Amino acid sequence: MNYLKTGEIKLEPSDISACLNPAGYDLRCSKTVVLKPKEYELVATMETVELGVSLVAFLHIRSSLAREGVIGSFAVVDPGFRGQLTLNLQNVSDKEITLRAGERIIQIVFHKLGNEAQKGYSGSYQDSKGVVSSRRN
């Protein structure tokens, strides 16, 4: 992950030894959350993510959680984004599922763009902290 060394990717707080994996980095849950059966919760990542303008990132639920019935709806992390990520996690199982504070819940996978983005992200979720509800209206 040379991009961490150069600062093109910033993850704070980071735990490289526990969260870095061959294809990306596992982001952790910011606080303990109980996902009730057939319901969803908005959950913030523990980490603040910052991307340079030559990178984009995609989010994937960890397979262990998917096997228990947790699915997610995630957006692309645009070049130039910075802030905590808000995740929509749904429990499609018939039992409660507890996500503990600090637990690895999603994998973020970084991709180098062919060319730098003409401009970085500057939307309404820039510098997000904690869970951020929809700002579309």
Which of 85, 87, 115, 104 is closest to 15 using CA atoms?
Answer: 104
Per-residue pLDDT averaged across 23-52, rounded? 97
> What domains can you pick out in the chain, each with its CATH number?
2-112 (2.70.40.10)
- The half-sphere exposure of 108 on its side-chain side, counting CA atoms within 13 A, is 31
- φ, ψ of residue 68 to 5 degrees: the values are -90, -10
pLDDT tens sequence across 71-85: 999 999 999 999 999
Per-residue pLDDT averaged across 109-136, rounded? 94
pTM of this structure = 0.94
